[in-house]
Structure 1
Amino acid sequence: MNHRHRTRFVLALEPKEAAVRAARDTVRAALEGWDRRDVHGDLELITSELVTNAIRHANSITLVLYPPDDETVMVEVWDDNPQGPSAPIVDLQAEGGRGLLLVGALSDSWGWRSTAGGKVTWAQTTAP
């Protein structure tokens, strides 16, 4: 199926922990609909990390997922916080703070851009 005919998934999320599960479920459903598999769960983990960061720093969150071509999947997390993500100084004793490191390690590329109402943090990955 040509990627132009595939569905773009858009999901408004409340900034609550339950949003992470909803986002992962959406990723799984989208990939199944596009006849792709997230063999190692990388895209689900990337999505979880991006949504978790948005929950911590924003009041409104929207997940957007789409295939720009037959090999790539883009995940975007739109939120109302204009401040861009920053790479944390990793404390090996801390329970958190490694999310963006995981996103960088598991995605082909990632970044963020400003919007009129906040920012978009995105990651691009190849999904078979």
Structure 2
Amino acid sequence: MDHRQRPHFVLALEPVEAAVRAARDTVRAALEGWDRQDVHGDLELITSELVTNAIRHANTVTLVLYLPDDKTAMVEVWDDNPHGPAVPALDLQAEGGRGLMLVGALARAWGWRATAEGKVTWAQTVTP
């Protein structure tokens, strides 16, 4: 199947806290509609963390979800901030700063790439 025929979804989000829940709910509904399971909620959590980072550091945020093959789900968060995400040093006393560590622990792979308008932060997971 041509990659353009694979299931995909694009959602522009306002850079506000409510966008995190909207993104998570959208991912859940899309996967259910595509008859895919996010058994442990990993992709929802990854989406929450990536969108949270984007709304804190950018003015535009777009969520892209797609299924490149029968076993893989990809989530991308596009934003207008050209600076790549940084994993902070672990501080067990800090109230935050663990989001990208969670993404790294839950995703098969993750990373980011620059775009003409900013960057894309992406994560790949396996779905049954």
Q: TM-score, normalised by structure 2?
A: 0.95
Letter in 1 for 2:70: D
Q: Give CA-to-partner distance per residue, 1:57-99, whole Å, 9 cap, x none.
A: 0000000000000000000000000000011012111110000
> By how many angstroms is 1:12 displaced?
0.3
Letter in 2 for 1:59: N
CA distance in 2, matches of 1:24, 1:76: 13
Which residues of 2 match residues 6-21 of structure 1 at below 5 A? Answer: 6-21=6-21
CA distance in 1, matches of 2:4, 2:56: 34
Counterpart for residue 106 of structure 2: 106
CA distance in 1, matches of 2:84, 2:63: 17
**Where do 5+ consecutive residues of structure 2 fail to align?**
none
Letter in 1 for 2:89: I
Which residues of 2 match residues 41-56 of structure 1 at below 5 A? Answer: 41-56=41-56
State the 4+ residue runs in structure 1 displaced beyond 6 angstroms.
none
CA distance in 2, matches of 1:91, 1:44: 25
Q: 1:15 to 1:71 in 2, by over 3 A?
A: same
Tell me, yes or no, if the aligned pair for 2:6 and 2:68 is still in contact at 8 Å. Answer: no
**Where do 5+ consecutive residues of structure 1 fail to align?**
none
Q: TM-score, normalised by structure 1?
A: 0.95
Identity rate of aligned residues, in percent?
Answer: 81
